Structure 1
């Protein structure tokens, strides 16, 4: 009896082992599908998906690819150095993004995308390549306007929103050409507001939008959109040790764009509010232990000259130190330029200055300092 049970057990074990070894072959024989499978119905897209698809289809035709035919070092995506905070430009080919501003064929992009380039061309969403001419630049805002040449059809202008009522956490969408990949959509949220971004000639742009929507080289000059598909910013810079997206991107707010671009179309330039001073470098001011803006020189014919501000005297003695504007402290030149931007040309502001150890108040009216020369 035990021998018989043992033989049955061994036989069962061998059968199970055979089935185990043969299982892949049996499965392949019995269940392989050698013809196209039937498509499973998915139902409707989720409302959020449908809204994103509709947004892209509506806005993408207004987004263009901007490039220079001259072989040159790419000046595409301005990268904010993660250690010094200084603006750098990195990349290979000189390319970027842009978007159609109006029915006349004006295209908005970043100044650093086309700066120093040769002949400019634009590729439309249809694939058509159209020559473009430079209408005007605003280096202090990192903006430029191009004019499309003759095209078979002009893409529709992008819808304009406002950046005044943005909230941290609201959804945003970026469309551009990262690494030359046309019409790429990325999504994210408004990560922060009121950031500052270095631009040209030591100036800083205030009120900058921070987003975690992926922005990479090639996105510069492309639109940042709200969930209604309206322009709320122009993608311009990233904060990244590697040069690729690290989830921290920056966009010029549309309210600034909407003020600067019409001036560029009309005159090729935009007024720069200021008072006409040459300030000491921040490093020198810090070494002297001074908290404020040291006036080195007052330009002739400037609002500062009219208000009686003083620079360094002939012997190198300290002149005026600007320590406040309209009741708010200022510590460095970007604080002053931001206050001038907020006030605007022709609107008087009150400066608090330190002169010979005495506090004084001076009223000055910002003017277009781009027309004031030393």
Structure 2
């Protein structure tokens, strides 16, 4: 009896195993077939999105103004550089000296000897400067000279002449309001950015790093933002007409009022920085009475620049000019009052200083002055301010 039961149970197990294997094999094949069907049914992303090229309108015309702008940019862009500055800082924990990024700005190639022009404020308070050319090559720069009163600086890189394309230099003396103006630079670190506009105004005055006024500044509505400083402002011929330096903006971004140092200033400052590392300033060899001292003397409208003393054996002394002196009875006598340099009138201390910027050391200039209520003239050979 037990043997019959055992045979019956084993038979049932065998039948169950046989049909179970068939069932699960069939289910496994269903799953594979289902997956396979699903995979082949799903289209690829490439075949699902078909570009509708039939609706793309062909280019029918590029306006002459567009062509001119494109050509100007393609010609000038290789001359524009991206400038980064770093400061050296000692790590508090390791005591290692590290380079810490400080700021960025723009610049442009001045000549094929590797001289790069930028703003003085772009590299101020930094230990190292690096220049990235338009081809992406990076060069450590040497500071050749800085003139903070004009916000100009000259760097030098050791790049081969084949990589250097100097900008053609124009003039700012004959600019007219309304002329085309193009700025290329690196606003917010976005290199090789082009903005266009017009010359909005001429003869503006801004303050330099030293607080000294920069006269004859160009105002433009070509967008100038942080990072554009030191980059070129170009005319419709692609010539340099200014160096972008400041913006007027309550927000810190472009508000359509940008200022550029006129190229006529750049064109005499930069060669001086390259040759001497500084600007050689001409002088008359006189000390002038300050406006505050004039007020103490009761002189509110000076009408000229008052000489307090002349440098012994200096240019003014050789030309016969004189400063304060005492009369025979001991009373103080006013010195000569300079009222003109060349053909330009001088109304005060500041105007005399600015009028001399048009001249170079060694130039012979006509100086008009008042002595004892009589107007006189003399010729002064300008010396170098030490």
TM-score, length-scaled by structure 2: 0.72
* Per-residue deviation, 1:282: 4.0
Structure with the bigger RCO (C-alpha within 8 Å, sep 6+) is: 1
The equivalent position to 2:305 in structure 1, one of 280, 285, 293, is 293
Contact 1:296 1:312 in 2 (8 A): yes
Deviations 1:111-159 (A, max 9, x none): 2222332111112223322100011223343222111135796231112
Contact 2:114 2:159 in 1 (8 A): no
Please show how residues 187-198 of structure 1 align to structure 2 within 5 Å. Answer: 187-198=196-207
Instruction: Give me the whole-angstrom Cα distance separating, in 1, the residues matched to 2:345 and 2:289.
Output: 17
Contact 1:132 1:147 in 2 (8 A): yes
The equivalent position to 1:219 in structure 2, one of 203, 228, 240, is 228
Instruction: Give me the whole-angstrom Cα distance separating, in 1, the residues matched to 2:227 and 2:261.
Output: 16
CA 1:205/1:368 → structure 2, altered by over 3 Å: closer, same or farther?
Answer: farther
Greater mean deviation of Cα atoms: 277-286 or 176-185: 277-286
SS at match of 1:52: helix
Instruction: Give me the whole-angstrom Cα distance separating, in 1, the residues matched to 2:332 and 2:128.
Output: 47
1:337 to 2:353 alignment:
yes
Please show how residues 106-145 of structure 1 align to structure 2 within 5 Å. Answer: 106-145=115-154
Instruction: Give me the whole-angstrom Cα distance separating, in 2, the residues matched to 1:282 and 1:245.
Output: 37
Deviations 1:242-273 (A, max 9, x none): 44333222222223322332232233233222
CA 1:209/1:152 → structure 2, altered by over 3 Å: closer, same or farther?
Answer: closer
Deviations 1:73-131 (A, max 9, x none): xxxxxxxxxxxxxxxxxxx9432211011112111112222233211111222332210
Contact 1:105 1:154 in 2 (8 A): no
RMSD: 3.0
CA 1:310/1:94 → structure 2, altered by over 3 Å: closer, same or farther?
Answer: farther
SS at match of 1:350: strand
Please show how residues 27-46 of structure 1 align to structure 2 within 5 Å. Answer: 35-38=50-53, 39-46=56-63
The equivalent position to 1:266 in structure 2, one of 275, 288, 293, is 275
Instruction: Give me the whole-angstrom Cα distance separating, in 2, the residues matched to 1:280 and 1:353.
Output: 15
CA 1:216/1:276 → structure 2, altered by over 3 Å: closer, same or farther?
Answer: farther
CA 1:216/1:309 → structure 2, altered by over 3 Å: closer, same or farther?
Answer: farther
Instruction: Give me the whole-angstrom Cα distance separating, in 2, the residues matched to 1:42 and 1:57.
Output: 20
Structure 2 partner of 1:304? 316
Instruction: Give me the whole-angstrom Cα distance separating, in 2, the residues matched to 1:200 and 1:320.
Output: 32
1:324 to 2:340 alignment:
yes
Instruction: Give me the whole-angstrom Cα distance separating, in 2, the residues matched to 1:304 and 1:343.
Output: 15
Structure 2 partner of 1:69? 86
Structure 2 gaps of 5+ residues are 1-47, 90-100
1:205 to 2:214 alignment:
yes
Instruction: Give me the whole-angstrom Cα distance separating, in 2, the residues matched to 1:214 and 1:280.
Output: 43
Deviations 1:40-81 (A, max 9, x none): 223232211121112112111110111211179xxxxxxxxx
Instruction: Give me the whole-angstrom Cα distance separating, in 1, the residues matched to 2:133 and 2:70.
Output: 20
Instruction: Give me the whole-angstrom Cα distance separating, in 2, the residues matched to 1:94 and 1:301.
Output: 47
Contact 2:230 2:243 in 1 (8 A): yes
Instruction: Give me the whole-angstrom Cα distance separating, in 2, the residues matched to 1:197 and 1:215.
Output: 16
SS at match of 1:65: strand
Q: How many residues align?
A: 319
Contact 1:176 1:184 in 2 (8 A): yes
CA 1:152/1:340 → structure 2, altered by over 3 Å: closer, same or farther?
Answer: closer
* Per-residue deviation, 1:191: 1.9
Instruction: Give me the whole-angstrom Cα distance separating, in 1, the residues matched to 2:237 and 2:360.
Output: 30
CA 1:180/1:302 → structure 2, altered by over 3 Å: closer, same or farther?
Answer: farther
